Amino acid sequence: MQSCMRRVRFCYGHRLHNYQGKCATLHGHNAVVEVHAISSDRSRPGLDEHGMVIDFSVLKNTVGEWIDTHWDHTVILSAEDTETIALVKQCPGEKAPFILDANPTAENLAHHLLWSVCPELLRGSGVLVHKVIFWETENCFAEESLDLASDAVKRLFERNEGRGEKR
């Protein structure tokens, strides 16, 4: 299996709701996300006619643009953190906070990208993101990968296979 990876850098703020420790305080990070993609077109596994899984610029212009629009220079908060949400909404700025259904840990942000954002953005492309590595700092990261043999991933392949624009 051949795969490719695009790195996306961005800045964001967050805090962990109902957490005992310094991450309960609103703070920021310079994050790096690595998005790993494979072909999801079982009739043409591997590389396309140009010798690529996907053009790196497509990952930049889809996943990178989504991150820039929704997470870069934004505060990411848990939906349960209503007091902080109300406080941040009062601050001047161009972007509203991004509200996540879970605490905005590196693990949950990687999960959100892998299971919610990337499948929607790349639907019909013949490409599937199979792994996301979320670097919260230069020393700490969370990684989430798809189990390519699982029924849930098979459904992602079926949704993405053979529809819309080809890679």
Residue 84 resides in a domain: no
pLDDT in tens, 78-135: 999 999 999 999 999 889 999 999 999 999 999 999 999 999 999 888 889 999 999 9
Residue 93 resides in a domain: no
Residue 111 resides in a domain: yes
Residue 35: half-sphere exposure toward Cβ, Cα within 13 Å: 32
The pLDDT, as a whole number, for residue 3 is: 87
Tokens 């529809």 found at:
163
Residue 130 bears catalytic tag = no
pLDDT in tens, 132-161: 999 999 999 999 999 877 887 777 767 665
The pLDDT, as a whole number, for residue 41 is: 65
Residue 73 bears catalytic tag = yes
Residue 63 resides in a domain: yes
The pLDDT, as a whole number, for residue 163 is: 43
Residue 23 bears catalytic tag = yes
The CATH number linked to 37 is: 3.30.479.10
At position 38, the amino acid (one-letter code) is I
pLDDT in tens, 26-81: 999 999 999 999 887 665 667 777 778 888 989 999 999 999 999 999 999 999 99
Residue 87 resides in a domain: no
The pLDDT, as a whole number, for residue 51 is: 78
d(CA 32, CA 35): 10
Catalytic residue among 23, 65, 70, 107: 23
The pLDDT, as a whole number, for residue 160 is: 64
The pLDDT, as a whole number, for residue 43 is: 58
Residue 29's domain comprises 4-74+106-160
Contact (CB, 8 A) for 5 and 63: no
The contacts of residue 152 (CB under 8 Å, 6+ apart) are: none
107: enclosing H helix or E strand? helix 106-112
pTM of the model as a whole: 0.89
Catalytic residue among 11, 73, 120, 140: 73
Residue 44 resides in a domain: yes
CA end-to-end span of the chain: 16
At position 148, the amino acid (one-letter code) is L
Structural domains in the chain (count): 1
The pLDDT, as a whole number, for residue 8 is: 97
Give me the sign of the Cα torsion angle 147, 158, 57, 44.
positive
